Amino acid sequence: MAQDDLAYLSAVELAAAIRMKKVSPREVMQSLLTRIEQLNPKLNAFVTIPSEEALCAADRAEKAVMSGEKLGPLHGVPLHVKDNLFVAGSRTTFGSKLMEQNITTEDCPAVKRLRAAGMIVMGRTNSPEFGWKGVTDNRVFGITRNPWNTNLTPGGSSGGAAAAVATGLGPIGVGTDGGGSLRIPASFCGVFGFKASFGRVPNWPGSGGAMLRHIGTITRTVADMAASLDAMAGPDPGDLLSLPRNPVSYSAEFENGIRGKRIAYCPDLGYATVEPEVAAICQQAAKRFADAGAVVEEIKLDWRDPYPAWSVFFFGTAAASVEKKLPTQGELLDPGFKRVVERGLQLRGVDFANALAARHEFWEQVRKVYERFDLLLSPTLAVPPFPVGQDDADPLKGEKLDSLQWTRFTYPFNLTGQPAASVPAGWTKSGLPVGLQIIGDRYADLLVLQASRAFEQVQPWTQQRPKI
């Protein structure tokens, strides 16, 4: 099978081809490793590529196929993992000079479970230092670039994963999302990103960065997302906030449709400014849910931006991650991240108490939407991809320069812990991807996947591929 054909097969398709012996795990792995060798110098999506180890694992997977062993649902399919998640025997740097030689000895639960489903870790993808910003660069590995235009950012913090998936360098990438870090790069790279309900996929080590961090995957298809969530979801004793296993198979039910569902579209959540072309693309995409049988209504909201509360938890967690090393090794930190840490160190206990109260007040606003509607839609981001070298987008007309204004649609739903996905809504006149966000009520993970699949059917996106 030709390299490009293998590169753009979904994980589900690859697993089926391997089971039917149409292609071997080694052939798949070797093809993708060759493609990475060709394209990664232009993207810098991968930062660690254990080629020999991956090929040996592929050979073992092939022996299992040929000997008739029971195979997992994703047997022999390559997997890449963000460089802030534990992988046994792998260098895990968190994009930080502080952790440049850190070797982790255990898999985090998500990786362990995906391996149990048959996947093979092929490499680690780039992330900003401790995932602190919505673009992807750091002092250890440098800048990751957008495959649609390498002068632009792929977003972050799971930017390496999104760039890899978009370019056919591996169908599934594991990442994290504490303020949009799966959905931001999915939007900027024209792929599918989904954070399930908080706790659906266990966080370990730790318990989720003040209840903000979700672990999930970036894929090209909704079927691959459902398959990966089936593998990863469920409680883990290492995470006291992890949720019980859902008795429903996401793969079995994600195609059941959304006919009759009530869907609200809000273009600004009541407080956000959006670049006009992005707003127009998202508005048109929202209307397409009616083609899938849903009832769509554009609504106005008077929500207040929850950034002040979200930032307390985010900055506080950042400070805790490096506080002990700051006096002696603070000069090694990215200056922007160091400023975030210093803000976190200034927080008081009463600030966290007030942030908890504000979190509850924001949820009181949000939950009222779900008294009338099953789902909420919004733009994923306020802007299309912007140049590398910037930590933030330029301010839009009428805005002051302020960090993360362009991500005002994503971090609110880390604060509430709701399931939220970014689907490719369309492309700008200059050929850049734009994402539409689908937000479910608490624990409505399956419905978000069903809505994503319904949209994928009425407005397919996988045929859109970057020419790099």
Catalytic residues: 82, 157, 181
Q: Which residues contact 70 (CB under 8 A, 6 or more apart)?
A: none
Where does 113-164 show beta strands of DSSP type E? 120-125, 137-138, 142-143
174: its two tokens: 């594991």
Dihedral of the alpha carbons of 47, 131, 193, 407, in degrees to the nearest 10 = -130
User: Which of the 8 DSSP states describes residue 132?
Assistant: -
DSSP line for 44-101: --EEE--HHHHHHHHHHHHHHHHTT----TTTT-EEEEETTS--TTEE--TT-GGGTT
CA 285, 290, 294, 300 torsion: positive or negative?
A: positive
Question: Which ranges of 140-298 would DSSP assign to H, the alpha helix?
Answer: 159-166, 183-189, 222-232, 250-253, 276-287
Q: How far is CA 6 from the centre of its chain?
A: 23
User: Is there a contact between 154 and 385 (Cβ–Cβ < 8 Å)?
Assistant: yes
Q: Which of 392, 438, 11, 45 is nearest to 228 (CA)?
A: 11
Euclidean distance between CA atoms 144 and 125, whole angstroms: 9
Q: CA-CA distances (angstroms) from residue 157 to 67, 279, 399, 434?
A: 41, 23, 24, 17
β-strand pairing of 172-177 with 78-82? parallel
